[in-house]
Amino acid sequence: MSKPAPALDLNRFLPYRLSVLSNTISHTVARLYETRFGITIPEWRVIAVLGSGRTMSAGEVAAATAMERVQVSRAIGRMLESGLIIRETGDRDRRRADLTLTVKGRAIYTEIAPLALAYQTRITGVLEPGEAEMLDRLLAKLQAQANALAEAPEYRSAE
């Protein structure tokens, strides 16, 4: 007789819980900048990573935001059309296209960043003293382990 499969309680399954939390937070904040600035979640993520002042390629943006390349490409296309970013050929590598925020894009970043940080403060405001720092450490550990497992042969897709 075979052993029954263990029950999977989604409400206690970490990947599911993190996904639900992430989606709730992202969509709540997205309503704020979509209404005010007419930008999508992927566009905000591009603005957020370019907001540091760095010039990045589309591939670097995809890696920094953990978004699919096609999602980044679509966001970049819309942002180029709306004048939020500029794309220039790299100085050293003519095949590389560097992305930078325009004055309009920087203005949106400057206005949204404090709102996003205030929202984060409200979310983490329910935590006891020291829990926010512990959460940060725990998330970093989980991310490092997830990165390592993503490279493990048993979790890689057949290519």
Tens of pLDDT, residues 12-38: 999 999 999 999 998 888 888 888 889
Is residue 56 helix, strand or coil? strand
pTM, full prediction: 0.81
Beta carbons of 68 and 41 less than 8 angstroms apart: no
Sorted by where each begins, the domain ranges of the chain are 11-125
Helix (DSSP H) and strand (DSSP E) numbers for the chain: 6, 2
43: pLDDT strictly greater than 90: yes
Mean pLDDT of 66-82: 94
Q: What CATH number should be reported for the domain whose range is 11-125?
A: 1.10.10.10
Q: Helix H segments across the chain?
A: 14-37, 41-50, 58-65, 69-81, 103-124, 131-151
C-alpha 38/C-alpha 55 separation (Å) is 23
The whole-number pLDDT of residue 138 equals: 97
